[in-house]
Amino acid sequence: MAKRVLVVDDAIFMRNMIKDIFASGGFEVVGEAANGLEAVEKFKEFKPDLTTMDIVMPFKSGIEATREIIKQDSSAVVIMCSALGQESLVMEAIEAGASDFIVKPFRAEDVLAVVKKVLGEV
């Protein structure tokens, strides 16, 4: 069964790109969220196998959202979507419970490699 993914990013552009990457890797994107608040809600709703989380977002940052998601479900797999220059933020997110991270600009194979590794599919 295809792994279920929640995609969180405030840019539709990024969400679409990530969704396409997951689709190409045989994943099922079950939901998407445009900010941290929505991310926590959608996580509760969908209980995804994996969540990709942008860091800089309106209303609630990806780090806060990750912290809340991990609080809800400590086994949640949250992958941070980061850019170069956000190293300290990513470390903060790892402290908050993020499982791994990917670095923008994304390349499909890099993203899938990280995700599959995290999900123990390699």
According to CB under 8 A, which residues from 82 to 111 bind another protein? 82-85, 87, 90-91, 94-95, 97, 99-101, 103-110
Supply the minimum distance, in Å, between the C-beta of residue 105 and another protein: 4
Give every strand in the sheet of 28-33, ordered side by side: 28-33, 4-8, 50-54, 78-83, 100-104
Q: How many chain residues touch another protein (CB under 8 A)?
A: 74
Residues whose CB is less than 8 angstroms from the CB of residue 56 and which lie 6 or more positions away in sequence, other chains included = 10, 62, 86
> CA 91: distance to chain centroid?
15
CA distance linking residue 18 with residue 108, whole number of Å: 8
Tokens read off for 51: 């969540």
Shortest separation between residue 15's beta carbon and another protein, angstroms: 10
> Applying CB under 8 A, does 30 fall inside the site for another protein?
no
Interactions with another protein, residue window 8-27 (CB under 8 A)? 10-14, 16-17, 20-21, 24-27
Q: Which of residues 46-75 bind another protein (CB under 8 A)?
A: 49-50, 56-60, 68-75
